[in-house]
Amino acid sequence: MRCPYCSHEETQVVETRESDEGDRIRRRRRCLKCDKRFTTYERAEIALPAVVKKDGARVEFDAAKLRGSMLLALRKRPVSVEQVDAALERIQDKLLSSGAREVPSARLGELLMRELKRMDKVAYVRFASVYRSFEDVDEFRQLIRDI
């Protein structure tokens, strides 16, 4: 680790502590050249798969965008922030456990619809009506009957 004060490349770890949540490690370091101390943090980096759009473009997974889509469908519905967070966590866990490096956007949309269906039927219908781009009313009726 390079010293932030003098850029010397040799530092010594003086103290190591795990955070209360257990998700990162705090290290106190001392520069062997200027003797100044500084703190670094270490945390596991999770690599969610890239999203492959319908046109073939690949974009980085964006949890904020997924949350925004979900909140738009849930607007003015009796669903708590904790429920939304739990649903997003389940989606991310499924993506991570799949081990895939890429996921089609259609798969992401299906995972989101499944979570919305569990939380709130009205939000599910709202999202599905836009996501599936129904061409006629009969397709929409069938979706509602399925619920």
Tens digit of pLDDT for each residue in 55-95? Answer: 999 999 999 999 999 999 999 999 999 999 999 989 998 99
Q: What is the pLDDT of residue 75?
A: 92
Q: What is the DSSP string of 80-136?
A: -HHHHHHHHHHHHHHHHHH--SEEEHHHHHHHHHHHHHHH-HHHHHHHHHHHTT-SS
Any idea what DSSP says for residue 66? H
Say yes or no: 76 and 125 in one domain. Answer: yes
Percentage with pLDDT > 70 across the chain: 91
CA within 13 Å, CB half, 124: 16
Give the pLDDT score at 137.
Answer: 66
CA distance 122 to 58: 31
Same domain, 68 and 139: yes
Position 89 in a domain = yes
Report the pLDDT value the prediction gives residue 131, as an integer from 0 to 100.
67
In a domain, 101, yes or no: yes
Rounded Cα–Cα distance for residues 55 and 5 (Å): 47
Query: Are 93 and 122 members of one domain?
Result: yes
To which residue do tokens 């799949």 refer?
A: 98
Q: Which domain holds residue 105?
A: 50-146
pLDDT at 35: 96
Residue 1 lies in a domain: no
